[in-house]
Structure 1
Amino acid sequence: MILFGIVYSIFNGTIDDVNTAMFEASTQAVQLIIGFIAIFTFWLGMMEIAKRAGLLDQLTRLTRPLLRKIFPDLSPSDPALGFIMSNLTANFFGLGNAATPFGLKAMSALQEQNPNKNSPSRSMVTFLCLNTAALTLFPTTVISLRMSHGALDAMDIVIPAFLATCGSCITALLLDRLFWSFSKRRKKV
């Protein structure tokens, strides 16, 4: 598409406009990335401090009863629960990039316990639903975009985003349970 656009601009006589737009867009991209780096560095640093201070371990212990209800197939001492909680915590603070390694570790730990390696376990599907729906309090990427584009109050989306992600998580869990019960009934028949 880029090549087609450049060829078209040559025949159209607007190649100078294309060059100007390319340089302006690259400048804006660099400015956007610098804004992202500042916010992501701050929140990744906060996550690392929380991890080293043992806050994530404490949070995992506090939420273990809830996680046990969401993931009934896992034992209370399962290491996957720690990775799942770390992933959910990173997503909660809008750090999708920081959540990815925890999510991969959680899926690997869940796959090790999976009796049927060719299809996902119930816990794997539930985790995927939660990770995709991602309960988020502080959407750092959207706030970074709003700040870099000069929004008057870049933080005014925090409450609506939190409410929207609450709804998406509840919906994801309800659908997960609904489809699981359908598949369980189908296996009995």
Structure 2
Amino acid sequence: MVNIIWACMAIIGIFYAMINGTMDQVNEAIFESANDAVNLSIGLISVLVFWLGIMKIAEKAGILRVLSKLFRPVIVKIFPEIPKDHPAIGYILSNITANIFGLGNAATPMGIKAMEQMKELSGTDTASRSMITFLALNTSSLTIIPTTVIAIRMQYNSLSPTEIVGTTIIATTISSISALLIDRFFYYKSKWRK
């Protein structure tokens, strides 16, 4: 549905530009935007590769293992339906660790694997409590180092691209706590109704 809406907006915009006589400005904007998109993508790729390298170094140094051990008791409490030694817990921990470092693109495959493991565990096509909780937690994604946003700010010559780190930590902490509270509220509300 969203694709249809975007397509309609583009068609209406082009049609209006043809009637209004500003088609040359639309063409110029299309090519400028395409050029900006390519430059931005290349800049983001370099930053993503850098941070993935840092993650690999952290993994080899044992930092990710320490973070996983640190977060494991919390994750086990948040996801009580998943057995402690189940592979889903490992994927959830990897996903959360990648999100903490602002590597949403790297976190996505681990999140998909976690969802597959939880689906296999539940044995149904209906979203389980753990799947809903993980989706809420992953969407709010606690972030300490917003690497993608820093990269975008660097691409556009921000004077201080890292000044958003503090506000990002505050905002994502509040969003993660809110996501968990809302998830628990609706879970217990549905249990109470039954």
1:137 is aligned, of 138, 144, 158, to 144
The TM-score normalised by the length of structure 2 is 0.87
Matched residues in 2 for 1:9 and 1:175: separation?
Answer: 45
Among candidates 88, 91, 106, match of residue 96 of structure 2: 88
Counterpart contact for 2:44–2:148, Cα < 8 Å: yes
Identity of aligned residues (%): 52
CA RMSD across the alignment: 1.8
TM-score, normalised with respect to structure 1? 0.89
What is the CA distance between 1:15 and its match in structure 2?
2.9
Q: Is it true that 1:111 corresponds to 2:119 in the alignment?
A: yes
Q: Is the 8 A contact 1:40 1:140 kept in 2?
A: yes
Higher alpha-carbon deviation: 83-92 or 38-47: 38-47
**After the TM superposition, which of the residue ranges 147-156 and 6-15 deviates more from structure 2?**
6-15
* Aligned partners of 1:92 and 1:138 also within 8 Å: yes
Instruction: Kindly indicate whether the alpha-carbon contact (under 8 Å) linking 1:57 and 1:82 is maintained by their aligned counterparts in 2.
Output: no
1:38-86 C-alpha deviation (Å, 9 max, x unpaired): 1111112222343455543443233211111111122221111100000
- Unpaired stretches in structure 2, ≥5 consecutive residues: 1-8
AA aligned to 2:164 is: I
**Residue pairs, 1:103-182, within 5 angstroms:** 103-115=111-123, 117-182=124-189
Partner residue of 1:44 out of 52, 60, 65:
52
Size of the alignment, in residue pairs? Answer: 186
Alignment-derived partner of residue 2 in structure 1? 10
| Alpha-carbon distance in 2 for matches of 1:34, 1:86 | 26
CA distance in 2, matches of 1:124, 1:14: 49
* Distance in 1 between residues matched to 2:13 and 2:187, nearest whole Å: 48
Counterpart-to-counterpart distance in 1, 2:83 and 2:53: 31
| Contact 1:43–1:95, Cα closer than 8 Å, also in 2 | yes
8 Å Cα contact 1:83/1:103 also seen in 2 = yes
| Structure-1 residue corresponding to 2:84 | 76
* Secondary structure of the structure 1 residue equivalent to 2:145: coil
C-alpha change, 1:9 and 1:131, in structure 2 (3 Å) is same
Query: How far apart, CA to CA, are the structure 2 residues paired with 1:12 and 1:75?
Result: 63
Closer, same or farther: CA 181–5 of 1 in aligned 2, 3 Å: closer
Deviates more, 1:143-152 or 1:163-172: 143-152
